[in-house]
Amino acid sequence: MRAGDRADPDFSRIDAAADSALRGEDCRPPREDHAPEPCAKRRERDGHVYAALDLGTNNCRLLIARPLPSKHGDAGFRVIDSFSRIVRLGEGLSVSGRLSADAIERTIDALDICRQKMLARGVTRARLIATEACRAAQNGADFLRRARLETGLDLEIVDRETEAHLAAAGSASLADAAAASVVLFDIGGGSSEIVWLGQACRGDASADKPAETPLRERVRFWVSLKLGVVTLAERFGGLNVSGATFDAMVEHVSGELQDFVAMVGAEQRCGRFHLLGTSGTVTTIAGVFLGLSRYDRRRVDGLWMSSEEVSGAIASLRNMTYDERAMNGCIGVGRADLVLAGCAILEAIRRSFPAERVRIADRGLREGILMQLIDEDLARDRAVERAAG
Q: What is the mean pLDDT of residues 329-356?
A: 96
Q: How many CB atoms lie within 10 A of CB 267?
A: 16
Nearest to 173 by CA among 333, 326, 31: 31
Distance CA 121, CA 128 (A): 16
> b/e for 189-202, b at 16 or more Cβ within 10 A?
bbbbbbbbbbbbbe
Q: How many CB atoms lie within 10 A of CB 357?
A: 17
Residue intervals of the chain classified under CATH 3.30.420.40 are 25-158
pLDDT in tens, 7-49: 344 333 333 322 322 323 334 333 333 333 333 333 444 578 9
Given a cut of 80, is residue 389 above it in pLDDT? no
CATH number listed for the domain at residues 162-365: 3.30.420.150
Global pTM value: 0.83
Q: What is the mean pLDDT of residues 102-118?
A: 98
Would you place residue 178 in the very low, low, confident or very high pLDDT band (cuts 50, 70, 90)?
confident
What is the pLDDT at residue 214?
66
Q: How many CA atoms lie within 13 A of 119 on its CB side?
A: 18
Residue intervals of the chain classified under CATH 3.30.420.150 are 162-365
Candidate CATH numbers 3.40.50.980, 3.40.50.280, 3.40.50.300, 3.30.420.40; the one for domain 25-158 = 3.30.420.40
Helix (H, G, I), strand (E, B) or coil at 110: helix
pLDDT above 70 coverage of the chain, percent: 80
Would you place residue 250 in the very low, low, confident or very high pLDDT band (cuts 50, 70, 90)?
very high
pLDDT in tens, 55-80: 999 999 999 999 987 655 566 899 99
Would you place residue 286 in the very low, low, confident or very high pLDDT band (cuts 50, 70, 90)?
very high
Q: What is the mean pLDDT of residues 349-356?
A: 94
Beta carbons of 280 and 188 less than 8 angstroms apart: no
Q: Which amino acid makes up residue 385?
A: E
In the chain, which ranges are continuous DSSP H helix? 93-96, 101-120, 132-136, 140-151, 160-171, 215-218, 229-236, 243-263, 265-268, 280-290, 297-300, 307-319, 322-327, 339-352, 365-388
